[in-house]
A and B are shown apart, each in its own frame.
Chain A
């Protein structure tokens, strides 16, 4: 019940295309859903995050769509660029309860071809 399932495992997109990564969770107590971006040799860095009181959050070319009833959320990267090539992790945690424990998905390796 603590798992976050992420798909696809890898993704190849042409420059200018839309990249879509999906995640699903079981624990309905989760109420904070961040996406992290990780480049080779670097630690993950927060990209964008959403709380379940909204269905969508957009920051520049990055959008999170959230479906509370389906317990699913996704990351959309519009106008994908070669510089977006990285591994993306979805995660989930519980805001209140003071743990801060992030449960990560398995990761998606994105390659954007020029």
Chain B
């Protein structure tokens, strides 16, 4: 089966500019996650979707970050405006169903550099 697809793979922007990341999860996976991975650190969850519903966005900086998952398939994560501290790899993951024991499959990530 095809893996999680993310685009773009790399993005360089000036601070205060907007940026968007796109994710296509594995077919049939109802649960979708967005993580942020800072350099030299483990991934940290930003938001989790069950189908099209955001069920855990407690770690999402809502003043500048937004996300959507229309029709419960593809998802977009947006930052507006971007700050220097937003430089990181943004990972999308999906799992067949919710629950802590279900394997999460990660995409390759989008490496964001904010200048």
Residues of chain A touching chain B, judged by Cβ–Cβ distance below 8 Å, are 4, 6, 31-32, 34, 36, 41-46, 49, 51, 89, 91, 93-102, 104-107
Contacts and interface: CB of A to CB of B under 8 A. Distances in A.
Interface stretch (B11-19, B37-45, B67-75, B76-84): B37-45
A100 B100 contact: yes
Contact of B31 (A44, A94, A100): A100
A46 B100 contact: no
A98 B55 CA distance: 10
B47 to A, nearest CB: 11
A4 B43 CA distance: 12
27 contacts: A4-B42, A32-B101, A36-B106, A41-B108, A43-B4, A43-B108, A44-B91, A45-B106, A46-B105, A49-B101, A49-B103, A94-B100, A95-B99, A95-B100, A96-B99, A98-B99, A100-B31, A100-B33, A100-B95, A100-B100, A101-B45, A101-B48, A101-B100, A102-B104, A104-B42, A104-B43, A107-B41
Top 3 A-B pairs, shortest CB-CB distance = A104-B42, A43-B106, A93-B100
Contacts, number: 73
B49 to A, nearest CB: 11
B98 interface: yes
A100 B102 contact: yes
Contacts of B103: 34, 46, 49
Given A95-B99, A96-B99, A97-B100, A102 B45 contact: yes
B109 A43 contact: yes
Tell me if A's interface is mostly helix, strand, loop or mixed: loop
Interface of B: 4, 31, 33, 40-45, 48, 56, 91, 93, 95, 98-109
A42 B93 CA distance: 12
A100 B96 CA distance: 11
Contact of A46 (B4, B98, B104): B104
Which has the most chain B C-beta neighbours within 10 Å: A31, A44, A45, A105? A44
Contacts of A51: 101
B48 A99 contact: yes
Given A104-B42, A107-B41, A99 B56 contact: yes
